[in-house]
Amino acid sequence: MPQDAFVFDAIRTPRGRGKKNGALHEVAPIVLLQNLFHHLHQRNKQFDTAQVDDVVLGCVTPVGDQGADIAKTAALYAGWDWDVPGVQINRFCASGLEAVNMAAMKVRSGWEHLVVAGGVESMSRVPMGSDGGAMLSDPKVSRALDMAPQGIGADLVAVLEGFSRTDVDQYAVTSQHRAAAAQSAGRFTSRIPVRDRNGMVVLDHDQHVRADTTLESLGALQPSFAMMGEMGFDAVALQKYPQVEHIEHIHTAGNSSGIVDGAALVLVGTEAKGKELGLKARARIRAAALVGTEPTIMLTGPAPASKKALALAGMSVNDIDLFEVNEAFASVVLRFLREMGINDMDKVNVNGGAIALGHPLGATGAMLLGTALDELERRDLNTALITLCVGGGMGIATIIERV
């Protein structure tokens, strides 16, 4: 029998707008991590860092400030024992959750006992696409893979599912209002303010949230993907989906995930290691699953990944108390709900999601897990499922259960 993997803690930074005028643009990604490493250590009885078998961090654009294995760099820079290894991983938008799942797998294998998972992305410092990649910039590859940007896929999902501009905007309004309510009620309890080298607070709240968002204000925004669609990507998608007459571009900056800076960490280990260090297990990781899906539409992974995870855990969709579905685009969440047969919106993204809070690519998955765990405890519920759509046509899901 493999030993269970437990979550001892899950913390995150606030999310700053991912632009030059964003609050965290002045903070290097390594410093975002340094802050969190420090707090994780402090919050957990200043455990002996030499006990950590590995640090697994997601980062989607691992060049420049984020290059050269930022996981190992961060562990060293945070002053942890040099005995602690580190690895940076990239599963696109799923990287943060993938890090948690890999940590759980390491622990369940019996070969490791305490692993720090998480992720980081300073999208203002290292813009998306800075790492190049054959998928995007090598013509023969993008041709062979029928690659289109995710926004085209999001709009295609909406066309296929019959979602209107109002449908996706309405969803975005809900996300904003929920996030604003959660923030003002102080429900983001595991959010650690970012401080400068003097201890002065640089950012203590999620900067991307707009509490005053209305259907009218969103309706005024221009579609983000109409021009690139017209230039050629619609043609690529339509050649793959020949029954679709026309792609109506309905996703805008207002109903897509926000571009932000941020980081997150999750401490994962065995029950025995927890006891040894005096740490309290907060949740068990019940299942983790990945799937590949049709790459041109790219964003349809959450439902099949969730079904796979549920099957692994021997659970049904009704056994899940809360869902965190990454709001890459509004249509992704709406499609997920339809595919999973979930009608109760009070179980889904109850504190808002990436449309309001932003999606720091490498960190988001770990952030969602922490948000779900905090909310389970607040409501005294038991199970949560976290899922994200992933670039290249993948899906990821993780199920946690409180202990």
Partner 1 sequence: MAIHYEKDADNIVTLTMDLPGRSANVINAEFGQAFLDALNKVTQETELAGIILASAKDTFLAGGDLEMLVALDTPETAFTNSEGFKAQLRRLETQGKPVVAAINGAALGGGLELALACHHRIAIDNDKIKVGLPEVTLGLLPGGGGVTRMVRLLGLQAAFSYLMEGKQVSPKEALSAGIIHALAADRDDLIAKAKAWIKERKSAKQPWDESGYKMPGGDPRRPEVFQMLAIAPAMLRKRTYGNYPAPEAIMSAAVEGAQTDFDTASRIESRYFAQLATGQVAKNMISAFWFQLNSIKAGTSRPAGDQAGTKKVGVLGAGMMGHGIAYVSALSGMDVVMKDVTAESAQAGKDKIAKLLDKRLSRGKMTKEKRDEVLNRIVATADAADLKGCDLIIEAVFEDRALKAKVTVEAEAHLAENGVFASNTSTLPITGLAEPSANPENFVGLHFFSPVDKMPLVEIIKGAKTGEYALRKAFDYVLKIKKTPIVVNDSRGFYTSRVFGFYVNEGAALLAEGMHPRAIESAGLQAGMPVGPLALLDEVNLGLAMHIRDQTRKDFEAEGKTLPNHPGFAVVERMVTEFKRQGKAQGAGFYDYPVDGKKRLWPELQQHFPAAAEQLPQKEMIERMLFAQCLETVRCRDEGVFTSTADANIGSIFGWGFAPFSGGTLQYINAYGLKRFVTRAAVLASKYGERFQPPASLIAMAEKGETF
Candidate ranges 9-17, 81-89, 130-138, 387-395; the one touching partner 1 (CB under 8 A): 130-138
Question: Considering the complex, what minimum distance in angstroms separates the CB of residue 129 from partner 1?
Answer: 7
Candidate ranges 175-183, 236-244, 321-329, 350-358; the one touching partner 1 (CB under 8 A): 236-244
CB of 117 or CB of 237, closer to partner 1: 237
Residue for token pair 């925004």: 221
Q: Is 244 in the site for partner 1 (CB under 8 A)?
A: yes
* C-beta of residue 266 within 8 angstroms of C-beta of residue 103: yes
Q: Is 20 in the site for partner 1 (CB under 8 A)?
A: no
Give the SS3 label for residue 4.
coil
Q: Where are the beta strands (DSSP E) in 133-282?
A: 194-195, 201-203, 260-269
Q: Is 235 in the site for partner 1 (CB under 8 A)?
A: yes
CB of 36 or CB of 126, closer to partner 1: 126
Residue for token pair 């049709």: 294
* C-beta of residue 172 within 8 angstroms of C-beta of residue 252: no
Tell me the C-alpha distance between 270 and 3, whole Å. Answer: 7
- According to DSSP, the residues that pair with 401 across neighbouring strands are 284, 383
Q: Is 160 in the site for partner 1 (CB under 8 A)?
A: no
Q: Is 137 in the site for partner 1 (CB under 8 A)?
A: yes
Show which residues are catalytic. Answer: 93, 359, 389
Other beta carbons within 10 angstroms of residue 176's beta carbon come to: 26
Q: Is 228 in the site for partner 1 (CB under 8 A)?
A: yes
Q: Is 109 in the site for partner 1 (CB under 8 A)?
A: no
Residue type, 338: R
Question: Considering the complex, what minimum distance in angstroms separates the CB of residue 266 from partner 1?
Answer: 33
Q: Is 128 in the site for partner 1 (CB under 8 A)?
A: no
- Kindly tell me which residue out of 45, 143, 378, 379 binds partner 1, with binding defined by CB under 8 A: 143
What are the phi and psi torsion angles at 264 (to 5°)?
A: -150, 150
* C-beta of residue 23 within 8 angstroms of C-beta of residue 201: no
Residues that bind partner 1 (CB under 8 A): 127, 129-130, 132, 136-140, 142-143, 147-149, 228, 231-236, 238-239, 242-246
